[in-house]
């Protein structure tokens, strides 16, 4: 998995929207002073991919900034040669409701996904049963890649 762009708002020390472009392939280093938000960037990536923070694994609600009502995360990345964007949001009082969207850029397909343990869960897409089965399989393959990456890197 290779991050391309991270967009976050309402996340811990990042109260307003911030966008990080990871640039061309190569090594990525996140450096800065103590308290500058390095760990928050890693939490944003984890939250976008897995729908949880690293310390409680219950959801991204724990990442909401004290000055915000909602956290919004969007990560564009490549895996297995395909570009994906995953967007998640959560609110303090569950309003507006949480949102989890996975989009494959190459296929031009979008999925609405609900997070249940594995990070993405079951995919819902309008259309024929054959299309739905194909989408579930492709999503499961992606989740497998992400889970493998999480267990080996986090």
- The tokens describing 46, both together, are 């984890």
The pLDDT mean for the chain works out to: 76
**What per-residue confidence (pLDDT) applies to 4?**
94
Tokens standing for residue 97 = 């409701």
- Of 86 and 123, the one with more pLDDT: 86
Q: What is the mean pLDDT of residues 10-25?
A: 91
Task: Measure Cα distances from 115 to 15, 147, 151 in Å.
Answer: 24, 13, 18
Q: How much is the pLDDT for 115?
A: 31
Tokens of 107: 């296929």
pLDDT mean over 116-141: 40
Whether residue 8 is predicted with pLDDT greater than 70 in this model: the reply is yes
Q: Is the dihedral of CA 10, 55, 90, 127 positive or negative?
A: positive
User: What pLDDT does residue 129 have?
Assistant: 38
Average pLDDT of the segment spanning 120-130: 37
Query: Tokens for 139?
Result: 């999503």
Cβ atoms of 15 and 67 closer than 8 Å: yes
How many degrees, rounded to 5, is the angle at CA 40 between CA 27 and CA 5? Answer: 50
Q: Could you tell me the pLDDT band of residue 109, with boundaries at 50, 70 and 90? A: very low
pLDDT at 60 over 50: yes
The full set of domains in the chain, from first to last, is 2-153 (3.40.50.300)
Closest CA to 47 of 84, 100, 108: 100
Is the pLDDT reported for residue 70 higher than 80?
Answer: yes
Q: How confident is the model at residue 130 (pLDDT cuts 50, 70, 90)?
A: very low
pTM: 0.71
Check pLDDT > 70 for residue 9. yes
pLDDT exceeds cutoff 90 at 103: no
């Amino acid at each position: 998995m290779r991050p391309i762009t991270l967009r976050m708002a309402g996340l811990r020390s990042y109260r307003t929207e911030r966008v990080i472009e990871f640039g061309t392939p190569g090594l990525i280093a996140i450096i800065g002073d103590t308290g500058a938000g390095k760990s928050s960037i890693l939490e944003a990536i984890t939250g976008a991919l897995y729908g949880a923070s690293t310390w409680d694994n219950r959801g991204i609600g724990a990442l909401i900034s004290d000055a915000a009502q909602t956290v919004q995360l969007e990560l564009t990345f490549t895996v297995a040669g395909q570009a994906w964007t995953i967007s998640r949001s959560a609110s303090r009082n569950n309003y507006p409701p949480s949102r989890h969207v996975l989009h494959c850029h190459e296929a031009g397909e979008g999925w609405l996904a609900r997070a249940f343990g594995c990070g993405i869960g079951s995919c819902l897409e309008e259309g024929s049963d054959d299309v739905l089965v194909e989408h579930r399989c492709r999503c499961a393959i992606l989740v497998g890649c992400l889970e493998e990456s999480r267990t080996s890197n986090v």
